[in-house]
Amino acid sequence: MKYALRFVALGYLAAVLVGPVGLVFYRAFEHGFDTFWSAVTTPEALHALWLTVLIAAIAVPLNTIFGILCALVIVRHRFRGVGILNAVVDLPLALSPIVVGLSLLLLYGREGWFGEVLAERGIQVIFSLPGMILATIFVSLPFVVREVVPVLREIGTDQEQAAATLGAGSLQTFRRITFPAIRWAVAYGVVLTSARALGEYGAVTVVSGRIVGETQTMTIHVEERFQSFDLVGAYAASVVLAMLAIGVLLLMTLFKPKEETR
C-alpha cells in the first residue's frame, strides 16, 4: 500500500511534469552543446533574455514592496473596503492574461483613454517596454500579498505592541519585528512572482507588438522560433527560461539562514 501510494504520486509527477520538461532539455542538447550555445547567443535571443530579466527586475521589487504594504493594510487596518481590496488583489489570478493585455490596450493604446495624452508627451506605452512592464506587474501582483497575509494574521499584534511599549517607532518595529517574522512568506512570494514574471506570455504578447529584437521577451522568442520551424532555437530558449526559474529557487534556498533550518 505504502509503495503503491508512492508509485502513484511519483508516477503522476513524472508523467505530467518531469517528462515533458526533461524532453525539452533533451531536445535542446540533442545536437550537442555547440548548437545549443549558438542558438541562445543569437542577437535576438540575447536581447529577449535581457528584456525578460529587465522586466522582472522592475516588476518583482515593485510587487514585493507594494505587496507587503497591501498585506499590512488588509490584515492590520479596519475600514470599509478592506474586503473589496482583498478580493481585487486576486483579480489577476482569475482574469485571463489576454484580457489583461486588452485592458491595457484600451487604456494606453492610441485610441485609449490615456493614449492621446501620453502620445503628445512622446511617451509610448503600448508596443514598448512600459506596457510590457505594466502587464507583467498586473499578472504577478497577487503572490506576495497571498503569501504574506496569512502569516501576518498568524503572528498577531502582540509582538508589535510589545515593541511599541519598549519605545520602538513604527518603522523600527517593522524592520526589527514584523519583517523578520514574515520574511519567509515574502521570499516565497518573491519566488512565485519572479516565476510568473519570467514566464508571462499572454498579457505581454498583446501589448508588446512582438517586434523582433525590440519587444520580444524570452517567451515570445520561444513562440516565434517555434513558428519559424527553428525547433532547436525554441527548445534552447525554453531551457534558458527554465534555468532562470531554477536559479531563482536556488538563490532563495541559499539565503535561508541557519536558525530557520534548525
Partner 1 sequence: MIVARDVVKRFGDFTALDGVSIEVPAGALTALLGPSGSGKSTLLRVIAGLERPDSGTVEIDGRDATRLAPQKRGVGFVFQHYAAFKHMTVRDNVAFGLTVQKRPKAEVRARVEELLALVQLRAFGDRYPAQLSGGQRQRMALARALAVEPSVLLLDEPFGALDARVRKSLRQWLRHLHDEVHVTTVFVTHDQEEAMEVADEIVVMNDGRIEQVGAPRELYEEPRTEFVMTFVGAVTKVGDAYVRPHDLEFTSEPNGSTEEVQVRRIVHLGFEVRIELERVDGEELVAQLSRAEADELDLSPGDILWVRPTKERIFR
Q: Given the rule CB under 8 A, which residues bind partner 1?
A: 158-159, 161-169, 172, 176-177, 180-181, 259
Minimum CB distance to partner 1, residue 148 (Å): 16
Smallest gap, in angstroms, from Cβ of residue 46 to partner 1? 42
**Residue 161 vs 228, nearer CB to partner 1:** 161
Q: What is the DSSP string of 152-208?
A: HHHH-SHHHHHHHHTT--HHHHIIIIIHHHHHHHHHHHHHHHHHHHHH--HHHHHHH
Residue 34 or 158: the one with the smaller Cβ distance to partner 1 is: 158
**Residue type at 90 in one-letter notation:** D
What minimum distance in Å lies between the beta carbon of 174 and partner 1? 13
Q: What are the cell numbers at 184?
A: 519567509
Q: Which is nearer to partner 1, 41 or 161 (CB)?
A: 161
Least distance (Å) between residue 259 CB and partner 1 = 7
Q: Which triple of cell numbers denotes residue 206?
A: 498583446
- Provide the phi-psi class of 213: left if phi over 0, else alpha when psi is between -120 and 50, else beta: left
Q: Which is nearer to partner 1, 43 or 167 (CB)?
A: 167
CA distances from 179 to 71, 82, 85, 173 (A): 12, 22, 22, 8
